[in-house]
Amino acid sequence: MDIKEISNDLLGETYYEIRHASGLKILVLPKEDYKTTYALFGTKFGSADNCFVLPDGRQFRLPDGTAHFLEHKLFESEEKDAFEKFAQTGARANAYTSFDRTCYLFSCSENVYENLESLLDFVSEPYFTEATVQKEQGIIGQEIKMYCDNPGWQAMMGLFEALYHRCAVNTDIAGSVESIATITPELLYAAYEGFYVPSNMVLCVCGHVEVEKIAAICDAHIRFADRLPATLQLPEEPLQVKEKRVVCTMPVTMPMFAFGYKEQSNGLKSLKERIETIILNQIIIGTMSPLYEALLEEGLIGEDFSSEYFTGRNYAAILFTGASENGELIQQRFEAEVERVRREGIDRALFDCVMKDMYGTMIKSFNAVEDIASEMMESEIGGYGFFEELALYQSLTVEDIEKRLQTKYNTEYAAISLIVPQEAEAKG
């Protein structure tokens, strides 16, 4: 087993990168003075990865929501629910599915190695039957209906539907009641066989642990068959947006908005481009920017306003969301500010403030085991080294950000999604 030690002198931190014989990547950052340990076990398989070919040539188009459905089902076995086992040892367990990954996790202050064994065991032992699948269809169906009633989520999904023609990010992660009704044990086993493969998975652990014990447990409990992962068949996505504006009515008192700028994406964006784009968002409409202060003072936005650089294997877009009666005006003001900054250049004092704030936030995150493990997972899924982001923040200049600005926020590929009260549509 190959164990590589990687240190950062500034942080005084060291993590260990282990390439297990099975192909599993293991990242461990010990924190001897901490009582809590946090572990993430993830696979590079999310809701947008619904078309693939298995090594034996079988092709599949999964129903929408399959990755999320599979996440739920892996907690069950013939013997007992995995949640019960974790509860008996005092651990908190959970899982989540996003567009590009599925992760299983636990946190605990004792019985760390026993909990790690449980995590590896239940993820590596799928158990699906017609009866258990039918039962889960009802449970997840209720979850889907709950998200349908969430205006913030519906605003975002409306934006994805407007931006994307074929990429599956335009479909809810949980799927629909109709799509999950077509999921079968055979399809779940096919998805599992294709993506729950050691070489397609990552284990990240941070806390009061010993690297050698983590490695030994993996030796004893990784029981996957020796096989290759599936080959994804990602659709070609045009740069043009599907729609420029979508409106949905819901029983809300305050309208919601989500607008975004689609970008060409034929693979993962570089870490440098991702960081520079996040910095740009903060400079133009972040909490320290003149525009944010003006919009807040005018009552156009609230503290729930947020921005995101949304990227994955075949998608990229810059997103802005919040609650406001004037979402389209906010977008107009944002685009005007982008043009002003392009003409006049970035305020160096603001750049310095943003960089110090973001750098400080990153340094502070190394005090939390959950943040560390999550960032290790993010770096592995994103294709960069764990300490690389910190090094970038130390090296970026205002000129780098101004150069990046020339390629961002193209209004030709913009769209907006609005959630409005039902009365407002009736008046319109």
Catalytic site positions: 71
- Given a contact cutoff of 8 angstroms between Cβ atoms, the answer to whether 89 and 111 are in contact is yes
Cα dihedral across residues 177, 182, 183, 184: positive or negative: positive
Sheet holding 92-97, edge to edge: 2-8, 13-19, 25-30, 201-207, 37-43, 102-108, 92-97
Q: Which two tokens stand for residue 384?
A: 């960069």
| Residues near 375 by beta carbon (within 8 Å), at least 6 away in sequence | 365, 386, 389
Calpha distance 41→69 (Å, rounded):
17
Cα dihedral across residues 10, 16, 19, 22: positive or negative: negative
Amino acid (one-letter) located at 252: V
Residue with tokens 């599915």: 97
DSSP letters, 196-259, are --GGGEEEEEEES--HHHHHHHHHHH----S-PPPEE-PPP--SS-S-SEEEEEES-SS-EEEE
| Spatial CA neighbour of 106 closest among 22, 206, 190 | 206
Q: Where are the alpha helices (H) located in 78-227, listed in sequence order?
A: 82-88, 112-123, 130-148, 151-163, 177-180, 185-195, 211-221
